[in-house]
């Protein structure tokens, strides 16, 4: 068989894991990786740890500099794609060059959502997706007296904790009535809010930012819809992300908020695959389209796509949200549709103390979600039940108090400090510095 030319757009976890899967099965075909980044294998999830001083700069990269060369992958940095011609199998770059492909993987990730306010372009206002974003937050650090984080989701919460540990005053402003609305319910949010306030972080929910305040070209704070002014010399927009798909308009690829893929991670156009934050996949619990923008999902999707690009037949399964956080020692694990409140056809069971909260969500005698905050022991058995869609045979209340056993311990990659990344990279960064 004639060697193929595989082209991968993006050098994040989905693209990297796909390239490794391709090369492992196909040592002869050529692989070209196009990335807008100045270096491949950046880890956005590590930015907050670096900003907080917990890891060195090398920890921001989850593959070493020689990774591409050793695998004979042609990595082209600072390269942006303008459009795709799926009929001729050609990519048109912003500089006018054309690159053809036999198999294409789109792993362009997601881009931060920016608030619709012209003043959000001030100096001192940034998102948090790239190294340059992180550097902008810490620019002239000695001048920072307060940091305002707009958005109390996963990234906003992590950033707030790391900056507070660094000694900076932090305010979190969340538009929804609760923090991390796609992860927590109201009680879990209350537990987290209590911990954050205990550590000196100001938290306000159900508030809307309408304007950034300025002095000359620098931000000085924000104004809320209720008229109050919140001071801040740095403002971080952490209101979420959206799939990076604008360059695909007119390509023929089906888009529904993101790239629609099947269980093989293939798009509606044969030979074109997509993986990671840019995709819309099928939730294995509800069977509805979902945007599962997590590290674990990106790596698994990339591997499945890569295997199928070289002729295998792999399926992406067990697709549901899974988030683990460690906020000043308060561990929180949320999986599936944990944020559900009371409604018809859904059974909720919970148990709470001043230091912990446990909740399970059941539909048709199957576990479809849970939140454990504080004591997270015993959650592996719940994850297994969700993956296998097991019928609950015991008294459901027992699932809230099941004692932990060795086989129920969470695997390393589900650790609360980003698992294998943070533990390994802390060690490596110390060795290299």
Outline where DSSP puts E strands in 206-270.
Answer: 209-215, 218-224, 229-231, 234-237, 241-243, 259-260
Q: How many residues does the chain have?
A: 433
State pLDDT tens for residues 316-373. Answer: 999 999 999 999 999 999 999 998 888 888 999 999 988 899 999 999 999 999 999 9
User: What pLDDT was estimated at residue 380?
Assistant: 86
**CA 78 – CA 35 distance, rounded (Å):** 6
Handedness of CA 249, 251, 252, 255 (dihedral sign): negative
SS3 assignment, position 319: coil
Q: CA quadruple 285, 256, 7, 127: dihedral positive or negative?
A: negative
Q: Which of 73-87, 95-109, 203-217, 408-422 has the weakest average pLDDT?
A: 408-422
Q: What is the pLDDT of residues 388-432, one digit of tens each?
A: 999 999 999 999 986 544 444 554 444 434 433 333 433 333 333
The mean pLDDT value of the chain amounts to 90
67 pLDDT more than 60 = yes
Q: Which residues of 236-271 are buried (b: 16+ CB within 10 A; e: fewer)?
A: bbbbbbbbbbebbeebebebeebbbbeebbbbebee
The Cα–Cα gap between 206 and 317 comes to: 36
What pTM, to 2 d.p., does this model score?
0.90
For residue 392 the two structure tokens come to 């609950």
Identify the pLDDT of residue 336.
93
In the chain the domains, ranked by start, together with CATH numbers, are 5-111+242-309 (3.50.50.60), 114-239 (3.50.50.60), 322-419 (3.30.390.30)
Q: How far is CA 273 from CA 24, 96, 421, in A?
A: 18, 24, 26
């Amino acid at each position: 068989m004639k060697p193929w030319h595989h082209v991968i757009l993006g050098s994040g976890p989905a693209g990297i894991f796909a390239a490794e899967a391709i090369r492992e099965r196909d040592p002869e075909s050529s692989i070209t990786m196009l990335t807008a980044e100045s270096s491949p294998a950046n880890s956005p999830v590590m930015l907050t740890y670096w900003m907080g001083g917990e890891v060195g700069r090398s920890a921001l990269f989850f593959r070493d500099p020689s990774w591409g060369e050793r695998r004979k992958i042609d990595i082209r940095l600072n390269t942006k794609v303008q459009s795709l011609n799926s009929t001729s199998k050609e990519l048109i770059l912003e500089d006018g060059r054309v690159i053809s492909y036999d198999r294409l993987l789109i792993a362009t990730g997601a881009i931060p959502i920016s608030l619709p306010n012209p003043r959000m372009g001030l100096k001192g206002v940034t998102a948090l997706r790239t190294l340059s974003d992180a550097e902008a937050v810490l620019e002239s650090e000695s001048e920072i007296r307060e940091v305002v984080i707009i958005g109390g989701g996963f990234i906003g919460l992590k950033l707030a904790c790391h900056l507070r540990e660094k000694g900076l005053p932090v305010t979190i402003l969340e538009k929804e009535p609760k923090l991390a609305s796609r992860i927590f319910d109201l009680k879990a949010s209350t537990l987290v809010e209590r911990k954050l306030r205990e550590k000196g972080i100001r938290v306000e929910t159900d508030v809307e930012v309408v304007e950034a305040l300025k002095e000359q070209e620098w931000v000085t704070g924000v104004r809320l819809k209720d008229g109050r002014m919140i001071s801040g010399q740095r403002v971080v927009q952490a209101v979420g992300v959206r799939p990076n798909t604008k360059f695909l308009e007119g390509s023929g690829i089906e888009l529904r908020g993101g790239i629609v893929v099947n269980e093989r991670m293939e798009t509606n156009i044969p030979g074109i695959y997509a993986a990671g934050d840019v995709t819309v996949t099928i939730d294995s619990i509800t069977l509805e389209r979902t945007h599962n923008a997590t590290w674990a999902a990106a790596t698994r999707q990339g591997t499945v796509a890569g295997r199928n690009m070289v002729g295998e037949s792999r399926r992406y399964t067990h697709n549901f949200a899974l988030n683990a956080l460690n906020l000043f020692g308060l561990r929180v694990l949320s999986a599936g549709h944990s944020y559900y409140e009371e409604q018809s056809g859904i059974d909720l069971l919970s148990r709470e103390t001043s230091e912990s909260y446990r909740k399970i969500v059941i539909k048709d005698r199957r576990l479809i979600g849970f939140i454990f905050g504080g004591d997270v022991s015993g959650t592996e058995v719940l994850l297994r039940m969700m993956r296998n869609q097991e019928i609950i045979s015991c008294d459901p209340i027992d699932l809230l108090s099941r004692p932990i056993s060795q086989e129920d311990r969470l695997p390393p990659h589900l650790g609360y400090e980003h698992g294998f990344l943070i533990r390994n990279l802390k060690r490596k960064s110390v060795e290299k510095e």
